Amino acid sequence: MKGMALSETPQRVRAKAQIDVEKYEPQAYETPSGGPELLEIHVAESFSGDISGEGKARFLQVVRADGSASFAGIERVSGDIAGRSGTFVTTGSNSGRECPSHTRNCVGV
């Protein structure tokens, strides 16, 4: 993935992986008495399957009074995907109410 010219269009690939969370460290940064709690979460993950490697992520999350939560995050993964080695960045988000799971999208190499 490294070394690709910006003018080149990379081939789109759908990959599936098992993700194991190695570290999950939530830290509240805003806890108003009348509103939802805001958290920053540091995560370390390992990937196996179509993606193999290690990832480090930061997520911002809002937790509502009813316990539902929404998040958005960015992760850098170092490893292998689709026969190529290097690093890539993913984004992920979920509104928490409508979607029980989320999708990660590769946004850069």
What residues form DSSP beta bridges with 46? 20, 54
- Distance (Å) of CA 26 to CA 23, 38, 88, 94: 10, 10, 24, 17
Share of the chain above pLDDT 70, in %: 75
Average pLDDT over residues 79-103: 77
Q: How confident is the model at residue 5 (pLDDT cuts 50, 70, 90)?
A: low
Confidence of residue 20 (pLDDT cuts 50, 70, 90): very high
Average pLDDT of 4-22? 75
Q: pTM for the full model?
A: 0.75
* pLDDT at residue 1 tops 50: no
Mean pLDDT of 81-98: 82
* Residues 84-102, mean pLDDT to the nearest whole number: 76
- Element housing 7 (H / E): none
Q: Minimum mean pLDDT among 19-23, 44-48, 77-81, 97-101: which range?
A: 97-101
Mean pLDDT throughout 58-74? 91
CA–chain centroid gap for 48, Å, is 15
